[in-house]
Amino acid sequence: MKASDFDYDLPEELIAQVPLEDRAASRLLHLERQTGSIHHRQFRDVLELLESGDLLVMNNTRVSAIRLFGEKPTGGQVETLLLREESEGCFRAIVKPAKRLRIGAKIEFPGGLQGTVTAEHEGGQRSIQFETQEGWREALAAHGRVPLPPYIHTVMHDGTRYNTVIASTPGSAAAPTAGLHFTEEILDQLDKKGIKLAQVTLDVGLDTFRPLQVDDLIDHIMHGERCEVSQLTADAVAACRGRIIAVGTTSVRTLETFATGRRALRTGSEESRLFITPGYKWQIIDGMFTNFHMPRTTMMAMISALATRDSVMAAYREAVNLRYRFLSFGDSMLIL
């Protein structure tokens, strides 16, 4: 298949720039996987759509990356995305412009923060050692920004709303946004209805937002993302007698990466490069929640493998016509 098979016209004004105040106030487009029928609902209707015995699987990763702007002593501007702290005050980071930031380069940040490049890594990544004078963490928190996707132009300092209510494992540069709609109240009500919750971990990378760079899907190389499945989750999947519904493409990738057979998972941690396209033979999931994705992306190919390309593209045309909110802070879609 071609990347152009997953193209559609997305009006810029439909890209949600801020989250709704109420997580569960979004709209929900329900696409029936087998028939292609489309239903327009509210997200709180999940309490009616899910049934006792179903298993919901969510990604519990937490966005811990920090975007920080600084400059070199010469005055050149530097943009850094601090991914994780490797040791006291030393962060693995994506930097721009990477070519001009070699080992020993100094960077001055707001709040009196000073950093030095101590190592170079692939993909424009560097290790940056901050001078850990008193108050440096407070300065980092004060001047760092939430690393929102490039299509969101607002500034968010409080990262709470860019994390799910179950976010617990730090490591992501982006949120598993399909889970942003769930509230603690809804999860509690689902539990009382007999719908179980299991968790996986996948650290979302920035490559998630990049469109397909090749037209023929067979030529696409997936970026790797670290993911993890626990014994508790493997047991829950094996014991499920209802439907298994993944929350988001990251949960889908994790479950299918660790699949050893129908509803059978191995456990552990590894890097997934699984690329799911139409024709894929599903091992674990029966349905999924997802937000509305950018055109020509791997996520569009994945959801077209769960339903069909024609039904997905028809649903997207209807969503555009009915002015759904798209992308990370947008509305929800259920394929089931």
Domain boundaries, the chain: 3-63+158-335, 66-143
Q: How far is CA 84 from the centre of its chain?
A: 17
Can you tell me the mean pLDDT for 168-185? 93
Residue 208 or 275, more confident: 275
Q: Is the pLDDT of residue 327 over 90?
A: yes
User: Cα(89)–Cα(146) distance, rounded to whole angstroms?
Assistant: 19
Q: What is the pLDDT of residues 132-146, one digit of tens each?
A: 888 999 999 889 888
Residue 31, SS3? strand
Can you tell me the mean pLDDT for 204-209? 68
User: Cα(304)–Cα(295) distance, rounded to whole angstroms?
Assistant: 12
Report yes or no: 170 and 228 within 8 Å, Cβ to Cβ: no
Residue 230, SS3? coil
Q: Is the pLDDT of residue 11 over 70?
A: yes
Q: Are strands 259-261 and 264-265 parallel, antiparallel or unpaired?
A: antiparallel
- Residue 87, pLDDT score: 92
- Residue 28, pLDDT score: 98
- Residue 123, pLDDT score: 72
What is the reported pTM? 0.89
Can you tell me the mean pLDDT for 291-316? 96
With CA atoms as reference, report the closest residue to 161 among 67, 264, 262, 24.
Answer: 24
- Residue 206, pLDDT score: 62
Residue-averaged pLDDT of the chain:
93
DSSP for 172-213, please give it.
ESS--GGGGG--HHHHHHHHHTT-EEEEEEE---GGGGSPPS
Secondary-structure class of domain 66-143 per CATH: mainly beta
Q: Is the pLDDT of residue 306 over 90?
A: yes
Tokens of residue 267, six digits: 């456990």
pLDDT-derived band at 207, boundaries 50, 70, 90 = low
3-63+158-335, CATH topology level: QueA-like (3.40.1780)
Q: What is the pLDDT of residues 229-276, one digit of tens each?
A: 999 999 999 999 999 999 999 999 999 999 999 999 999 999 999 999
Q: Is the pLDDT of residue 34 over 70?
A: yes
Q: What is the pLDDT of residues 76-122, one digit of tens each?
A: 999 998 988 889 999 999 898 888 899 999 999 999 999 999 999 87
Q: What is the pLDDT of residues 37-64, one digit of tens each?
A: 999 999 999 999 999 999 999 999 999 8
* Cis status of the peptide bond prior to 11, with omega within 30 of 0: no
pLDDT-derived band at 125, boundaries 50, 70, 90 = confident
Q: Is the pLDDT of residue 226 over 80?
A: yes
Q: What is the pLDDT of residues 228-240, one digit of tens each?
A: 999 999 999 999 9
Can you tell me the mean pLDDT for 140-163? 85
Q: What percentage of residues in the chain have a pLDDT greater than 70? A: 98
Q: How far is CA 152 from the centre of its chain?
A: 14
Tokens of residue 176, six digits: 């598993």
Residue 96 or 292, more confident: 292
| Contacts of residue 289, Cβ cutoff 8 Å, sequence gap at least 6 | 46, 178, 179, 181, 245, 246, 247, 248, 332, 333, 334
